[in-house]
Amino acid sequence: MLLIPAIDLKNGHCVRLKQGLMEQVTVFSESPAEQAQHWLEAGARRLHLVDLDGAFAGAPRNRAAIQAILNEVGDRIPVQLGGGIRDLDTIDRCLDAGLTYVIIGTAAVKNPGFLRDACTAFPGHVIVGLDAKDGKVATEGWSKLTGHEVVDLAKKYEDYGVEAIIYTDIGRDGMLTGVNVEATVHLAQSLTIPVIASGGLSSLDDVRALCAVEDEGIFATIAGRAIYDGSLDFQAAQTLADELSAA
């Protein structure tokens, strides 16, 4: 089980939101590149970047901070980016800059033809982020709930050739209330591609719970607020996950 530290970017800073609300923001670092280096030194084997401004604007807005992170760690571990990636030219620029994966969220729901084209043009580099509440998919930086069922969309995207699905329970994200393991397992059991759990990771008990269902197809989890406010020690959590996965 891989733990992936999240670096959420807003106005060039590393921040965390509660339930995706831009007005519920806490700044954790003025230097995202230094934060990336910190997680690398703590044992991170992948990084998860979110351009929050880009998610709302519809195009990346934190390019300088993203490039600084890639300059710092991009040649040592894979880095994935979501937020405002809604055309093939943007994907091309992202991968050229040194990103390993791009995460398509809103555009996958609103423009499935684009997602299909992206998987064809950039095989092995496209991940879909499905953000949901009560099983329904949300878009536009979580500001709009759709009528789409998570599992139905995920199956369609799997057919397109996406590399993995990131599943976020937006009711739990940033709230430190624990991962929605049941819903994540339900999704993973419906697919053959890997699922990355997201939203609510808060304790070593969450790590244990996810490792217990790793064989269902959940290969990683994204760690956010808990590793920033100190309630979860990232290094200890990854060590525990490695021990449980090897058992």
Active centre residues (catalytic): 8, 131
What span, in angstroms and rounded, lies between the C-alpha atoms of 40 and 189? 31
What span, in angstroms and rounded, lies between the C-alpha atoms of 169 and 162? 20
What span, in angstroms and rounded, lies between the C-alpha atoms of 189 and 96? 34
Q: Token pair of 23, please?
A: 């007005």
Cβ proximity of 20 and 198 under 8 Å? no
Characterize 34-72 residue by residue with b for buried, 16 or more Cβ atoms within 10 angstroms of its Cβ, and e for exposed: ebbbbbbebebbbbbbbbbbbbbebebbbbebbebbbeb
Question: How do 79-82 and 47-51 pair as beta strands?
Answer: parallel
CB contact set of 199 (below 8 Å; sequence gap of 6+): 167, 168, 169, 170, 171, 172, 173, 179, 180, 222
CB contact set of 56 (below 8 Å; sequence gap of 6+): 22, 84, 140, 141, 143
